[in-house]
Amino acid sequence: MIKIALFTFITTTSLFAQNDIEIYNCYGNSHKVIVEGRLLHKKTQSIASKDDNLFQNLWRKTGQLINNEIKNENLSLTLDDKIYKTISDDEGYFSFTLDSNKTLKQEYKPLKVQINKNNFSICKTPIIETKKEYLGIISDFDDTIVVSNVTNKIKLALNLLFKNYKQRDTVADMSETFNLIISNNPPKTPSTLFFITGSPNQLSSSIKEYLTLHNYPKATLITKKIHGDNPDALFDQFKYKTKKIEKLIKLYPNIKWYFFGDSGEKDREVYTCIARHFPEKVKAILIRNVKTGKFEKLPLSTLYAH
């Protein structure tokens, strides 16, 4: 019965599909810009409501996870009137890493990604200069700012599949904490808040909607690419997160970071490893105990001593 329902969903929603460009990651500094996304035949999705039932949420989540990709398609990105080109892979994914000879202005820079004359997407990319010192945040998502119960697979499934972003339980005071830290940077500085989560790219839109709903600062969301060319480590969270964090540290050598995570998976180990390799880049490490719900601030001097 479930298979029949899923088949019906896929075939009927494809009738209402349209070509679409999903932007997952976009960020950069004065000379380098990174844009990653996917080309899809977009399906029409119902708007989430706090009153949605389990079946409605499962139906919508299935629609997010099952996609009709646009493979091997030419696309272009326009940056300051210069056009860059690439081709989507067999799963519809694409990636641009642009090195600019021109010094890019610090701002939210609009970039145009296009697959034909009628289909394009504008992503406002945060360009953060590397001359001034800033404070930044790198945070996990599940069980750090939203209650997911990652260590309990049954509760995790119930949260991820049968609740929408308007129904999820929140971790108290996190948006206020992040806003306070970011406010220490000069006015008009693009947000230096980055979320690195093990959630797949397909769930990016619901995570962004959750962040907006709960008044988080503008943020760059980095999600996991689980298939296509050069996928991220599927089950190795340590390898996946350390690689992404090291990339950010090298891209923004002038930022000192607050790290937020939880005790559910590998955040403590990841952040400890980063602190030992880049001690001058770490401002603080805070780990939420998933059993008590309280945050523990790790003593950096102890970590550096090992």
pLDDT tens digits, one per residue of 259-292:
999 998 899 999 999 999 999 999 999 999 999 9
How far apart CA 274 and CA 270 sit, in angstroms, is 6
- All domains of the chain, ordered by start, with CATH? 2-128 (2.60.40.10), 134-305 (3.40.50)
The model's pLDDT over 64-112, given as tens digits with 9 standing for 90+, comes to 888 889 999 999 999 888 899 999 999 999 999 999 888 999 999 999 9
Residue 45 has pLDDT above 80, yes or no: no
**Kind and range of the H or E run holding 38:** strand 32-42
9 touches 77 (CB < 8 A): no
SS3 115: coil
| Residue closest to 136 by CA, chosen among 217, 192, 216 | 192
What amino acid occupies position 105?
K
C-alpha distances in Å from residue 207, one per residue of 81, 143, 166, 202: 32, 13, 10, 10
The answer to whether residues 142 and 197 touch, using CB atoms and an 8 Å cutoff, is yes
Q: For the chain, what's the residue count?
A: 306
3-state secondary structure of 210: helix
pLDDT given at position 17: 36
Residue 34: pLDDT above 80? yes
Cα–Cα distance for residue pair 163/165, rounded to 1 Å: 7
What is the reported pLDDT for 32?
95
Q: Return the closest-CA partner of residue 80 out of 30, 118, 37.
A: 30
Q: How far apart are CA 197 and CA 140, in angstroms?
A: 5
Give the CA radius of gyration of the chain: 20
Higher-pLDDT residue of 2, 73: 73
What mean pLDDT is predicted for residues 33-58? Answer: 89
Contact 107, 190 (CB under 8 A): yes
The predicted-structure confidence for 46-62, as pLDDT tens digits, reads as follows: 899 999 999 898 898 88
Summary mean pLDDT of the chain: 88
Q: Residue 204 corresponds to which tokens in the numbers above? A: 């990016």
Q: What is the pLDDT of residue 235?
A: 85
> Is the CB of residue 79 less than 8 Å from the CB of residue 98?
yes
pLDDT, position 305: 58
CA distances (Å), origin 173, targets 137, 165, 170, 177: 15, 17, 9, 6
**Which two three-digit tokens encode residue 44?**
């029409």
